[in-house]
Amino acid sequence: MRKQALNICKSIIKWFRKPIVKLLGFNLVNKHTGVYTAQDIAIAQNFSKVIKNILTCSETELHSYDFILRQVTDCKIANMPGGPGGENFGKWEKYINPSGIGLIQSPGEFAEFALYLTDLKIQNAVEIGVCYGLTGYFLCALLQRVNPSVKYYMVDISESNLFCFDLFANILNIKKYIPATSEFFEGEKFDFVFIDGDHSYQGVTGDILNLGQHAQVCVAFHDVYGHEYDGLSGGVCRAWQEFMANYKERFKAKVFSEYPDKWLGIGVGEKI
């Protein structure tokens, strides 16, 4: 009975799809799960507004931490488990999206990192591990505002969480490579490489060897203080420490962190 009702709903949506897409500006039919919920639609509409804000922002706004932070908090953040020492989002809690979909980032450190990127000359970028894709859409919008011809490649082993890709592909220079891993691009030289996929030591090290070490402007790693991955042969923390030691002649390290040595953290190796 429930299945029948769902099928009728799907047919109605399919039937009215074209006028609805025209009205809302995006596709209501989720290729993977069937139909987006009202909450998903609200998130997508909200996120579209943020992306448009970024693409049309002034030069002053583009280099303003407050402006970027406001866009980040307007996007909402994903509902993630806290850090291993009981760390949580504290003041950012009110920006968590209860449905779970959002940037898988802590707003303060992510806004600082995004601001840092706006000063770099980036022609092409690759993010390994995109999940919902919202971080990718956000960073691509910023880089595209700086350089309208930038190309942003999104890589993941699974498409099951990717949110409204087609909607954002209409306005952003994004391209998805899913399912794929960094191995597919082995040895390619991207200006900006963002490593946030397999969080095991072997996984991160593989991403460094395949892509990170070849970054022309910078390579970034999410979770350089993510001790919840220590059990995976040392996880991101160990891989980051080794990267800083082994590549110090080629990359200058810096970290954006609100929870130093405890949780999350975005480590960046900037090409010297």
Ligand X SMILES: C[S@@+](CC[C@H](N)C(=O)[O-])C[C@H]1O[C@@H](n2cnc3c(N)ncnc32)[C@H](O)[C@@H]1O
- Which residue of 28, 51, 163, 198 would you call a contact of ligand X, by CB under 6 A? 198
Is 267 one of the binding residues for ligand X (CB under 6 A)? no
**Nearer CB in complex with ligand X: 109/156:** 156
Site for ligand X in 43-102 (CB under 6 A): none
Is 104 one of the binding residues for ligand X (CB under 6 A)? yes
Is 265 one of the binding residues for ligand X (CB under 6 A)? no
**Nearer CB in complex with ligand X: 15/184:** 184
Total residues at the site for ligand X (CB under 6 A)? 21
Site for ligand X in 116-145 (CB under 6 A): 127-132, 134-135
Site for ligand X in 20-49 (CB under 6 A): none
From the CB of residue 155, how many other CB atoms can be counted at a distance below 10 Å? 25
Is 181 one of the binding residues for ligand X (CB under 6 A)? yes
- Determine the residue with CB nearest ligand X: 129
Is 105 one of the binding residues for ligand X (CB under 6 A)? yes
Is 219 one of the binding residues for ligand X (CB under 6 A)? no
**Nearer CB in complex with ligand X: 128/150:** 128
What minimum distance in Å lies between the beta carbon of 161 and ligand X? 6
Query: Is residue 114 classed exposed, middle or buried when 0-12, 13-18 and 19+ CB atoms within 10 A define those classes?
Result: buried
Q: For binding to ligand X (CB under 6 A), which residues are involved?
A: 103-105, 127-132, 134-135, 155-158, 161, 181, 196-198, 203
